[in-house]
Amino acid sequence: MRTQSDATSLGIRMVNVLLATGLVIGLVGGALVAVRDSSAPAVADLETVAYAPPRYRMVQANIRASMGTTRFKKDVREVVGTSPDFITYNEVNGRRSASLEPGRYRVWRKGGDAYRSATAVAWDNDEWAATSKGIHQISNKRGKPADQKLHWGIRFANWVTLENRATGRNVSVVAVHFAPKSKYYGDLVRPSARALNVLVKALARRGPVMVGGDLNVQYEGSRYPSDIFAAQHLTPSYDVTQQAPVTHGRASTIDYVLARGIARFATGNQRAFGLESDHHAVRVDFSPLPVTSTEGSSRVRFGPGVVVTDPGLSTAEEQSVLRTVLKSINSTKRGQVVHLATRALSNAKVLRALKRAKSRGARVQVVTAERTTTAEMRSLQRVLGKDVNKESWAVRRPSGYDRAGLRATVLLISRTGATPAFGFSSSTQMSTSAGTGKRSGYVSVTKTSYDKLFKPFFSAVGRRV
């Protein structure tokens, strides 16, 4: 089943300038770490977090169906040679299962016809035991030219739930291949993404879910279904590493490793590597993160990425967004500046963190969109004051907040721990419910991103900068 790329080009991402220098970046304390594969010296504590065992390595490989057996076997050896824990294969209909599971590897894909056997999941059987397997249809559209054998609009995802033999941790791995856009059956990217979500939601009850596949849509292109993936917290590794390598053709990024539960892992060592196939394989490492306290530390280092929480995780892990806010505020020292904009501020932990930051000598500035002066705001104003021309203050500006176009929460800190220009934006307000339910946020660590949020923050209180 041949692929077809969406030629929409990627925008220039400012953070890639930092990554190109070999910067090692991380977020410790309940969220995520992104670490670039680099020969530059690593910060010791971050390297320990990002690369300490257990490390789960995943490879996504689309091995062209029309290649000869010799070239196909060479690609399998190339993929297996990276010592992955999990492999997701595309276009392997017509290949013998024995060829997909050399040595210690085992493979699953539903046999019976070319449609069901086109995707496959392989795993290191020395490290992982399969506890359940299955197949899930993601599209069912007929239509093809006269000289084509298969209806490319008929697609299935094969999946396996695996248990780590040493730790007992469960991970589900899904191999998927979306149909390319065609005049014979239309554009199936969005319906395929919704069908994939149904499977991911069911598997997520068992633990993290890793998805590998050729999605036949350009990353961040106009057809890229980011809203659908977000509905199930299914995050591509590219969002975390802030790198999107070419995987097909001259400028296409259409092969993905995505994960639900990605906030529980250090995510790094991502790279694309060449195959005999017309696609590059994508390799990504995931390392489970320890759940640590929200207490501050001068050694804490934050990195760019997505912070996601979800009901069903442990209580500590479910509160990753709130804990990121607390960890960053608690890691500020004398002379640093904390700017917090939130639609509602009633979370007792956040209020205490702000007051303690002020007592340590940090400058603290807070604006909310609340319509009335709450008891929490009055309590904060007694510590910070309410004159926006002074170094610390707390005010409510509902009209200005809306006019400035601020998200539910925006947190800017001039320096927190070892990280300058920390920025965090989230759709979650810092209310009493901030530590419950589905939450997400985005961490940035560049001056450009910081300045972009800095101006609307002051615009909300009527100050120009």
Burial profile 415-445: b = 16 or more Cβ within 10 angstroms, e = fewer: bbbbbebbbbbbebbbbeebbeebbbbbbbb
In a domain, 296, yes or no: no
Interhelix angle 348-359/375-384, rounded to 10 degrees, is 10
Among 51-60, 112-121, 394-403, 455-464, whose mean pLDDT is lowest?
51-60
In a domain, 264, yes or no: yes
Q: Are 282 and 316 part of one and the same domain?
A: no
| Tokens encoding 197 | 């979500």
With beta carbons less than 8 A apart as the criterion, state whether 249 and 234 touch: no
| Tokens encoding 464 | 């120009």
Q: What are phi and psi of 441, to 5 degrees?
A: -160, 170
List, for residues 158-183, the tens digit of each pLDDT value. Answer: 999 999 998 888 899 999 999 999 99
Residue 457: strand, helix, or coil = helix
Q: Which of 230, 256, 288 is the last residue of a domain?
A: 288
Residue 54: the pLDDT is 63
Q: Are 53 and 172 part of one and the same domain?
A: yes
The residue range of the domain holding 345 is 305-460
In a domain, 169, yes or no: yes
Among 7-16, 232-241, 340-349, whose mean pLDDT is lowest?
7-16
Residue 167: strand, helix, or coil = coil
Tell me: pLDDT of 13 over 70.
Answer: no
Q: Are 266 and 345 part of one and the same domain?
A: no
Q: Which residue has the higher pLDDT, 342 or 297?
A: 342
Average pLDDT for 191-199: 96
Burial profile 46-57: b = 16 or more Cβ within 10 angstroms, e = fewer: beebbbeeebbb
| Tokens encoding 67 | 């290649």
Q: Are 322 and 241 part of one and the same domain?
A: no
Tell me: pLDDT of 404 over 80.
Answer: yes
In a domain, 1, yes or no: no
Q: Are 348 and 429 part of one and the same domain?
A: yes
* Number of domains within the chain: 2
Q: Are 61 and 140 part of one and the same domain?
A: yes
Residues 6+ apart with CB under 8 A from 277: 61, 62, 63, 64, 67, 71, 75
Q: Are 354 and 278 part of one and the same domain?
A: no
With beta carbons less than 8 A apart as the criterion, state whether 253 and 247 touch: yes
Q: Are 352 and 264 part of one and the same domain?
A: no
Q: Which of 244, 259, 288 is the last residue of a domain?
A: 288
Residue closest to 54 by CA, chosen among 139, 164, 131: 164
CATH number of the domain residue 221 falls in:
3.60.10.10
Q: Are 312 and 283 part of one and the same domain?
A: no
Tell me: pLDDT of 266 over 60.
Answer: yes
Amino acid at 445: V
Q: Are 283 and 327 part of one and the same domain?
A: no
With beta carbons less than 8 A apart as the criterion, state whether 82 and 109 touch: no
Report the 10 Å Cβ neighbour count for 285: 22
Q: How far is CA 293 from CA 41, 180, 304, 338, in A?
A: 27, 46, 20, 20
In a domain, 300, yes or no: no
Handedness of CA 178, 181, 182, 185 (dihedral sign): positive
Q: Are 228 and 376 part of one and the same domain?
A: no
Q: Are 249 and 339 part of one and the same domain?
A: no
| Tokens encoding 164 | 């780590």
Tell me: pLDDT of 328 over 80.
Answer: yes
Tell me: pLDDT of 69 over 70.
Answer: yes
Tell me: pLDDT of 455 over 70.
Answer: yes
Among 104-108, 131-135, 158-162, 207-211, whose mean pLDDT is lowest?
207-211
In a domain, 402, yes or no: yes
| Residues found in the chain | 465
- The whole-angstrom separation of Cα 285 and Cα 196 is 22
List, for residues 120-145, the tens digit of each pLDDT value. Answer: 999 999 999 999 999 999 999 999 89
In a domain, 8, yes or no: no
Handedness of CA 382, 383, 386, 389 (dihedral sign): positive
With beta carbons less than 8 A apart as the criterion, state whether 216 and 185 touch: no
